[in-house]
Structure 1
Amino acid sequence: MGSVSTNYENTAAPGVPFYTPAQIPPPGTPLDKASAPTLFQPLKIRSLELHNRFVVSPMCQYSADDGHLTDYHLVHLGQLALHGTGLIIVEATAVEPRGRISPQDAGLWKDSHIAPMRRVVDFIHSQGVKAGIQIAHAGRKASTLAPWIGGTATKTLADESVGGWPEDVVGPSPIPFYEDHALPKELTKEEIKGLVRKFAEAAERAVKAGFDMIEIHGAHGYLISSFLSPRSNKRTDEYGGSFDNRIRFVREVTEAVRAVIPETMPLSLRVSATELMEWTGEESWTVEDTIKLAKLVPSWGIDIFDVSSSGNSYEQRFPENPHFQLDIARTIRKALRADGIDMVVAAVGNITDAQTARDVVQEGPEAAGELALVARQFLREPEWVLRVAHELKVGVKWANQYSRAGPRTDFSKKF
């Protein structure tokens, strides 16, 4: 006859500076791993161990105070940690003040940013979830207003009266993103080298804040992305012109970051796989360029290739297929596997229903990636992981404090 446990201690979560019950296993863990789809299977990348393949994609919230995260971020990201995602990536975080998209963007350009970041990371960790951060520079798309203020017929640019810096916006070439954006100053080679150092310094602060992984933002027309594109990069030095020259900045940033973070920490790169400007017949950054880049980045220290699109050209044209980005990720993954490259591919873009989420990462040659990155659907439904599990009939662990509200299958019961 087996013995009955007499341990009635409400065990505390380890490694955090406050009491909260330990989530063992973390919310979103399948109760029967053997029968669960790949979406609910664990994944290990270097020393990072995720309990499922759901990732909260970086989402700008325009709610920071001089770059510092606030209680808003603790609540916004904390609620997602309670509901079962495997990894949460904090929004695009600027490596210098003029690298912010808006005056209210998050930052990691000074040491005082570390403690508020650590507070958010500690809470995410307390729920058994992993925390990542996206380090970024807005480049020529900097000094704009939050979207619920800007982007109107009256004003997009944030001027000095609201904390903006329209006279100190920078890019690879003096080409504005659009007529309502600042005219960027062309970076000197010395300034480029300085920015490489600033990315590395931000990464060092991210390590001190306790993050489990770091992503470099090379997408959506921000600084790195604008260096990649021949439409926005008209330089004639070693940072412009040829493909090898246009990728030089992202290579130097990646290698500098990799050199200062632990060998055990995964490093991700987000790219816009296409500018969606092929319709012009003019030279632009294309899926073929992205595949070429993807085959190079593992040697620089990249572990995760995060496939997004667009954002560098105002005249971009989106395909009618809402899942075109997932198809691009699938194409890139197949090209990598054909060359024997097993780098993790992260797929993102309109993953809003259970079946799409399942199919994106389902193990096999048709998978779009190993990770499913989701943004706006988590804003609609913070508990979306649990809803997906219910719809796919996968039993999963709920947060201890929420477990009495788990999915009800027998509505004859009364509580």
Structure 2
Amino acid sequence: MNNILTPIKIKNILIQNRIVLPPLVRFSMIEDDGYVTDKLLDWYESIARDGVGMIIVEATCVSADGKLRENQLGIWDDSFIEGLSKIAKIGKKYKIPMLIQIHHAGFGKNIKDVDEKILDEILDKFVIAFHRAKKAGFDGIEIHGAHTYLLSQLNSRLWNTRNDKYGGDFERRMYFNKTLIERTRELFDDNFILGYRLGGNEPTLEDSTKIAIYLQDLGLDLIHISSGIPEERFRQPAKIDNFPENYPEEKDFKLDWVIYMGVEIKKHLHIPVIGVRNIRTEEQVSYLIENNLLDMVAVGRAMIFTNKWMVKTRKAYLKRVKNDTK
């Protein structure tokens, strides 16, 4: 049986445990120019030093006009490589695999009206950004396809009602994903991981399951299930009866709909699945891993607000196991 400290190998890359730092955008640590700062380097070093299994570096934008807000990390120019390589070197120093999330904020519900040439240009920028990410020394890339940003907008049949190569039927809604992966396939050798953060409700769990299978068939190595369309009516309620009986007592976690979507999508895939949202304790992580509900679990806010969360969690797990064997 796997536990939170069980290593997992993706291609030639060994991940020492099942806990992931998700791509948390640290706006307070970045200036408007989008370059890596000493504060940001200190943050990633503190997480790596404490022994998390894998780090996914925050949403890093392919275009200056595609940012979430002004102070977001950038990768739209070769001049960003030097700073980004300093982050990647932290991973090498502590033997913590590091992926970098590549991102464009998109156009909201107006995605249907965006000129095809603009999307062609953004696609080119994603391709170039992938090359920069590998040159910077990261162990892989996570494509940001969740949270209503560009790829999420294109994936969704609710918003993408275009009638061109970028939208219409399912295959055309997947055109950006497919073309991006095909044009960068040579980068993803046995030492470079291709990951994808997918909204689990685009707009339904069934839609996202179909997308996940499609991406897997394109050669995805890893998928990270988060939220898609935020409207309440599109939230997938967790069916708790589908879970094993030894559920942790924390009510908020028990009812979490995003974790549930990750668990459900995993049933249809053969690549590793990361789940995320409202994970705070060792017991919660252990429950998901030990019951084979997820392959890895991402812990975000708890790592920000709890000093040395990973160190404390490892100790709590080992203490609990010791007590259980008495």
TM-score tier (shorter): 0.7 to 0.9
**Residue among 101, 112, 119 paired with 1:173:** 112
1:248 aligns with 2:175: yes
**Residue among 72, 78, 87 paired with 1:105:** 72
- Pick which of 292-301 and 90-99 moved more: 292-301
1:349 aligns with 2:316: no
Name the counterpart of 1:12.
none
Q: Is the 8 A contact 2:236 2:261 kept in 1?
A: no
**Residue among 305, 308, 311 paired with 1:380:** 305
- Pick which of 379-388 and 101-110 moved more: 379-388
1:302 aligns with 2:220: yes
Q: Deviations over 1:96-115 (max 9, x none)?
A: 11121011101111111011
Q: 1:313 to 1:222 in 2, by over 3 A?
A: farther
1:361 aligns with 2:294: no
Name the counterpart of 1:67.
34
In the alignment, the residues of structure 1 paired with residue 66 and residue 265 of structure 2 have an alpha-carbon distance, to the nearest angstrom, of: 29
Name the counterpart of 1:330.
263
In the alignment, the residues of structure 1 paired with residue 315 and residue 45 of structure 2 have an alpha-carbon distance, to the nearest angstrom, of: 22
| Structure 2 stretches lacking a partner, 5+ long | 238-251, 321-326
| Partner amino acid, structure 2, of 1:76 | W
Q: 1:52 to 1:96 in 2, by over 3 A?
A: same
Q: Is the 8 A contact 1:37 1:358 kept in 2?
A: no
1:260 deviation in Å?
A: 3.5
1:209 deviation in Å?
A: 0.9
1:118 aligned counterpart, secondary structure = helix
1:216 aligns with 2:164: no
**Residue among 371, 376, 385 paired with 2:296:** 371
Name the counterpart of 1:117.
84
In the alignment, the residues of structure 1 paired with residue 292 and residue 257 of structure 2 have an alpha-carbon distance, to the nearest angstrom, of: 14
1:89 deviation in Å?
A: 1.1
1:68 aligned counterpart, secondary structure = coil
| Partner amino acid, structure 2, of 1:68 | Y
Question: What are the equivalent positions in structure 2 for 1:124-273 lying under 5 Å apart?
Answer: 124-140=91-107, 172-174=111-113, 186=114, 188-273=115-200
**Of Structure 1 and Structure 2, which has the larger fraction of its residues in helix?**
2
In the alignment, the residues of structure 1 paired with residue 170 and residue 307 of structure 2 have an alpha-carbon distance, to the nearest angstrom, of: 41
Q: Deviations over 1:365-384 (max 9, x none)?
A: x4232111111111012411
**Residue among 48, 58, 62 paired with 1:95:** 62
1:316 deviation in Å?
A: 5.7
| Structure 1 stretches lacking a partner, 5+ long | 1-35, 142-169, 175-185, 276-284, 337-341, 396-415
1:190 deviation in Å?
A: 2.5
Name the counterpart of 1:57.
22
Q: 1:250 to 1:218 in 2, by over 3 A?
A: same
Q: Is the 8 A contact 1:217 1:271 kept in 2?
A: yes
Q: Deviations over 1:116-168 (max 9, x none)?
A: 11112212321222211000100126xxxxxxxxxxxxxxxxxxxxxxxxxxx
In the alignment, the residues of structure 2 paired with residue 103 and residue 206 of structure 1 have an alpha-carbon distance, to the nearest angstrom, of: 21
In the alignment, the residues of structure 1 paired with residue 231 and residue 156 of structure 2 have an alpha-carbon distance, to the nearest angstrom, of: 10
How many residues get paired? 303
1:47 aligns with 2:12: yes
Q: Is the 8 A contact 1:221 1:311 kept in 2?
A: yes
TM-score computed with the length of structure 2 as normaliser: 0.86
State the identity as a percent. Answer: 30
Q: Is the 8 A contact 1:130 1:212 kept in 2?
A: yes
Name the counterpart of 1:26.
none
In the alignment, the residues of structure 1 paired with residue 26 and residue 235 of structure 2 have an alpha-carbon distance, to the nearest angstrom, of: 26
